[in-house]
Amino acid sequence: MKYVYIKTWGCQMNEYDSSMIVNLLEKDNEYIITENIEQANIFILNTCSIREKAQEKVFHQLGRWKKLKNRNPDIIIAVGGCVATQEGKEIFKRANYVDIVFGTQTLHKLPNMLLTAKKNRKRAINITFPKLEKFNYVLKPKKILYSSAISIMEGCNKYCSFCVVPYTRGNEISRPCDDVLFDISNLAETGTREIILLGQNVNAYQGVTFNGGICYFSELIRLVAEIDGIERIRFITSNPLEFSDDIIEVYRDTPKLVSFLHLPVQSGSNKILHLMKRSYTIEDYESIILKLIDARPNIQISSDFIVGFPGESQEDFKQTIQFIKKINFDMSFSFIYSARPGTPASEMEDNLNLIEKKERLHLLQNLINTQTMMWSRKMFGTIQSILVEGYSKNKNLELYGKTENNRTVVFSGTSKMIGNFVNVKITKIHTHSLEGVLV
Which residues face 400 on adjacent strands?
A: 390, 410
- Residue 412, number of CB atoms within 10 A of its CB: 13
3 sits in which H/E element: strand 2-8
Task: For residue 242, give the amino acid letter.
Answer: E
**C-alpha separations of 99 from 31, 46, 49, 96, 201 in Å:** 18, 14, 20, 8, 33
Give the integer Cα–Cα distance in Å for 28 and 301: 43
Residue ranges for the known binding site are 11, 48, 82, 156, 160, 163
Helix residue ranges, H only, 254-313:
270-275, 282-295
Let me know if 393 is exposed, middle or buried by CB neighbors in 10 A (0-12, 13-18, 19+): exposed
Residue ranges for the known binding site for [4Fe-4S] cluster are 11, 48, 82, 156, 160, 163
Could you give the strand order of the β-sheet that contains 31-33, starting from the edge strand earlier in sequence?
Answer: 31-33, 2-8, 42-47, 76-81, 100-102, 124-126
Q: For residue 148, report the phi and psi dihedrals to the nearest 5 degrees.
A: -125, 145
Helix (H, G, I), strand (E, B) or coil at 206: strand
